[in-house]
């Protein structure tokens, strides 16, 4: 009797698992299925902060109500990471989504920074020792990891793309806090450092070049990310 009951229970559980794994005849991608949704209020507010008066004419405005944005971000991350790291696409995307929400960033902005810094190459090494997806200097990584109470094993930590993303987003958030919600300043400071940006501002100069590259990638991403009911440009 117990054996029959156990077999019945096992069959029910197996059927339930199969139902979860397959929807409409297709295998469910668990990385996509378990993603948290983008907070569109945060996304929209930060997009306006980044683009200012140019927001109304930007591709970003077509995604104001895009409930599937987290999934298309995952798909972009997976397509841009090297083959050796595609299995980490879900973890990297979850880090981007959660840390962007924590620090009130549009996660697509984070994608644009990664594209600008490393073209999604976790092995990238910069000219002054920057490492990984968001090109973090080891001394900056150690300092931010202490602020976040994250384990630190030296520069090797930055070769982990999830750790790299968490530290990079936290550093950008710190710069924004220091420089104010002016993207000309805090985005440039990510590349130049806050002191260099302050010196330029004191000389009545705007640090435009790096921010322009980031925002060009930001606009390109939004033009190529699918939005419901909106035709997008081909890559």
* CA 157 from centroid of its chain's CA atoms: 18
Q: What is the CATH architecture assignment of 35-224?
A: Orthogonal Bundle (1.10)
Q: Residue 215: count other Cβ atoms within 10 Å of its Cβ.
A: 20
Check residue 176 and give its pLDDT. 98
Per the DSSP assignment, residues forming a β-bridge with 227 are: 230
What pLDDT digit, counting tens, does each position of 105-139 carry?
999 999 999 999 999 999 999 999 999 999 999 99
Find the Cα–Cα–Cα–Cα dihedral 81, 222, 186, 152, rounded to 10°.
-20
How many Å apart are CA 52 and CA 167, to the nearest integer? 27
111 neighbors 76 (Cβ within 8 angstroms): yes
Check residue 34 and give its pLDDT. 87
Check residue 206 and give its pLDDT. 86
User: What is the model's pTM?
Assistant: 0.85
182 neighbors 211 (Cβ within 8 angstroms): no
Check residue 27 and give its pLDDT. 46
Per the DSSP assignment, residues forming a β-bridge with 125 are: 131
Check residue 5 and give its pLDDT. 61
Residue ranges of the chain with per-residue pLDDT less than 70: 1-30, 227-235
Check residue 227 and give its pLDDT. 66
Check residue 74 and give its pLDDT. 97
Check residue 9 and give its pLDDT. 58
Domain boundaries, the chain: 1-28, 35-224
């Amino acid at each position: 009797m117990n054996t029959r009951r156990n077999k019945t229970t096992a069959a029910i559980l197996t059927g339930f698992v199969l139902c979860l794994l397959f929807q409409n005849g297709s295998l469910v991608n668990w990385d996509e299925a378990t993603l948290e949704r983008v907070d569109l209020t945060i996304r929209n507010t930060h997009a306006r902060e980044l683009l200012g008066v140019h927001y109304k004419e930007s591709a970003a405005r077509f995604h104001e109500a895009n409930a599937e944005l987290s999934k298309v971000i995952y798909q972009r991350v997976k397509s841009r990471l090297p083959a050796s790291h595609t299995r980490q696409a879900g973890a990297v995307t979850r880090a981007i989504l959660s840390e962007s929400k924590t620090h009130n960033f549009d996660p697509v902005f984070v994608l644009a920074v990664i594209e600008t810094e490393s073209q999604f190459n976790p092995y990238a090494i910069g000219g002054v020792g920057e490492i990984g997806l968001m090109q973090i200097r080891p001394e900056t990584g150690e300092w931010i990891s202490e602020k976040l109470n994250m384990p630190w094993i030296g520069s090797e930590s930055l070769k982990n793309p999830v750790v790299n993303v968490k530290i990079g987003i936290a550093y950008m958030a710190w710069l924004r806090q220091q420089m104010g919600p002016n993207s000309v300043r805090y985005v440039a400071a990510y590349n130049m450092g806050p002191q260099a940006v302050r010196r330029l501002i004191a000389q009545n100069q705007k640090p435009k070049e790096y921010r322009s590259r980031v925002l060009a990638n930001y606009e390109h991403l939004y033009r190529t990310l699918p939005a419901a009911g909106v035709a997008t440009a081909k890559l």
